[in-house]
Amino acid sequence: MKAMRVHELGQKLQLDEVEAPTPGPGQVAIDVAACGVNFADTLVVQGKYQEKPDLPFAPGGEICGTIREVGEGVKHLQAGMRVAALTGHGGFAEVALADARACIPVPDGMPDAHVAAFTIAYGTSHVALDHRAKLKEGETLLVLGAAGGVGLTAIQIGKLMGATVIACARGKEKLEIARAAGADHLIDSDDGNLREAVKALGGADVVYDPVGGDLFDEALRACKPEARLIPLGFASGKIPQIPANILLVKNLTVIGLYWGAYQKFRPDVLMNSGQQLFTWYMEGKLKPHVSHEVPLDRAAEALDLLTSRKATGKVVVTI
């Protein structure tokens, strides 16, 4: 099979011809149709992520494909089933392995690119807003990085949960994409007045933040009493240092979210969330935004689209 692999951290991917993997106990082998690209993939290839695969490896942890073979002990899946799967890495390839517990059968009417763009981005936002922050109808949700892969999903899910959504993104073009996703109010992060703009709208009950840096600091100071802040990534490259005195004075709660960790210690959270999200999709309530589809041999370009912030919504590698 062909695979785009990392041979040296921080260097360009190489297209290799390698032997297709065979599933072990509890695993399945999947013919990959499409692989979603996430900001975490850009960190994995540099060795800056929490999980560090052995070299050489193919990045890509979110795939759509058809099961070609099941390993020993797998009873609920069979060859020929079309699934979404979380692989950790290995998705930039014609065949990938996945833990059978991390596979979800997908609706027949859902395009491959939509499936590959769906699981992590929508799953992250749903678990963050529902399971962690317990967003309530009528509350105000502030979404930072609102035109990015997870930001757009947070807007859509926030609206489905009955919130008023304030979208913060860079530039008019990205803000229009956020408006199309359902945002009620738009703030340009380049204007440098996030704190004042959010306070003028009454403040935020929940802050959804994949960006970090100075925007987190401003959002913190624009929160209502008893607000909840969810840091779930640091696309700005700067990890904010949270002043405890502000948390104390305003009775704020900061709620961490590493979505992938649930696969190990609470897989039921991910499975239940996934079922709800696929139901919403088939009801026409969720609309994935795929800004780029890139073939396997140009997968390095897919990563560059994220690091250069040229992508809106999701980037997908097609096999």
Phi/psi at 46 (nearest 5 deg)? -100, -5
pLDDT one-digit tens code per residue, 122-175: 999 999 999 999 999 999 999 999 988 899 999 999 999 999 999 999 999 999
Distance (Å, rounded) from C-alpha 118 to C-alpha 62? 9
Evaluate the omega torsion of the peptide bond into residue 288 and state whether it is cis, within 30 degrees of 0: no
- Interval 264-296: pLDDT, tens: 788 888 878 988 998 999 999 998 888 899 999
3-state SS, one letter per residue, for 82-100: EEEEECCCCCCECEEEEEH
Q: What is the pLDDT of residue 311?
A: 79
H/E segment holding residue 155? helix 149-160
Look at residue 151 in the predicted model and tell me its pLDDT: 93
pLDDT value for 274:
84
How many Å apart are CA 228 and CA 33, to the nearest integer? 38
- E strand or H helix that includes residue 254: strand 253-254
Distance CA 236, CA 33 (A): 31
pLDDT for the residue numbered 308: 86
Whole-number Å distance between alpha carbons of 78 and 69: 7
All structural domains of the chain, each given as residue ranges with its CATH number in brackets, are 2-118+288-318 (3.90.180.10), 123-259 (3.90.180.10)
User: What residue type is 309 in one-letter code?
Assistant: R
35: Cβ contacts below 8 Å, ≥ 6 apart: 60, 62, 63, 64, 91, 92, 96, 116, 316, 317, 319
Longest Cα separation, the chain: 59
Within 10 angstroms of residue 186's Cβ, the number of other Cβ atoms is 18
CB 212 within 8 A of CB 233: yes
Tens-digit pLDDT string for the chain (319 aa) = 999 999 999 888 999 999 999 999 999 999 999 999 988 899 999 988 878 899 999 999 999 999 999 999 999 999 999 999 989 899 999 999 999 988 988 888 899 999 998 888 899 999 999 999 999 999 999 999 998 889 999 999 999 999 999 999 999 999 999 999 999 999 999 888 899 999 999 999 999 999 999 999 999 999 999 999 999 988 888 899 999 999 999 999 999 998 878 877 888 888 789 889 989 999 999 988 888 999 999 999 999 998 887 877 789 999 9
Selection from 116, 178, 186, 184 nearest residue 153 by Cα = 178
